Structure 1
Amino acid sequence: MDLCRPWICALIAALALVTAGAAPSFARDHDDARRAVEAGEIRPLVEILNAARGRLPGDIVGVKLERESGRWMYELRVVDGKGRLFEIHVNAGNGDVERTEEK
């Protein structure tokens, strides 16, 4: 799995921006996400993905940026080699994996 390919990062960033407005707890638009990065509240998605490389159980198929309990979280949807779907919740401020759930 090579997460550094530019097209993968661009696709994931686009998914994050598109899915970010899907519910009230999500960032309303890309401006919210950009402001949070500029204010130092969250790390850019590309940094999170680079740090996660090799630690994820498969390929990233979706990304959301949302607020959980007052904290920004990246939710990564990952499909492993056996076709199982996982949600990986990553603290957007420090990059720590908070929890992993098989769906």
Structure 2
Amino acid sequence: MDFCPTRIRALILAAALVVAGSEAPAFARDHDDALRAVKAGEIRPLADILNAVKEKLPGDVVGVKLEREAGVWMYEFRVIDDKGRLFDIHVDARSGEVERSREK
């Protein structure tokens, strides 16, 4: 999997769609919300998480969002494998552990 700077910047911008919130998933309103969570130590930067999990992802990352589920920050990656199948991969934004994945 190739992580060129342009792709990482695009993913960071996409991840900036999350905001801390209620028990239901909450999505960032802007980049500042995600940056505050990184600075507060609540989450690891997207580039760090991508480097930690790239070997566990079944293909190319085509989308990402950051959300808070039941009080836990999660990165959700949309991944397309070499057969064209789409997967949602949920990764703990603090630990980098893959929590669950499913084919769409």
Fold match by TM threshold 0.5: yes
Whether 1:2 and 2:2 are equivalent positions in the alignment is yes
Give the structure 2 partner of residue 95 of structure 1.
96
Q: What is the distance in 1 between the residues matched to 2:99 and 2:55?
A: 17
1:52 Cα deviation (Å)?
A: 1.3
In structure 2, how many angstroms separate the alpha carbons of the residues matched to 1:7 and 1:46? Answer: 12
Q: Where in structure 2 are there 5+ consecutive unaligned residues?
A: 20-24
- In the alignment, what sits opposite 1:26? 27
AA of the residue aligned to 2:77: L
Q: What's the C-alpha RMSD, in Å, of the aligned pairs?
A: 1.7
Matched pairs, number: 100
Identity percentage of aligned residues: 63
**TM-score normalized with structure 2 length:** 0.88
Distance (Å, rounded) in 2 between the aligned partners of 1:97 and 1:46: 15
- 1:74 corresponds to 2:104: no
CA offset digits 1:38-88 (Å, max 9, x no partner)? 010000000000111222100000000001011110000000011100000
Q: Which ranges of 4 or more aligned residues in structure 1 deviate by more than 6 Å?
A: none
**TM-score, structure 1 normalization:** 0.89
Shift of 1:29: 1.6
| Mapped partners of 1:12, 1:27: distance in 2 | 14
Task: State the secondary structure of the residue aligned to 2:96.
Answer: coil
Uncovered stretches (5+) of structure 1, i.e. residues with no partner: none
Q: Report the Cα distance in structure 1 between the residues aligned to 2:73 and 2:30, rounded to whole angstroms.
A: 14
**Residue in 1 that maps onto 2:11:** 12
CA–CA distance in 1 between the matches of 2:72 and 2:86? 24
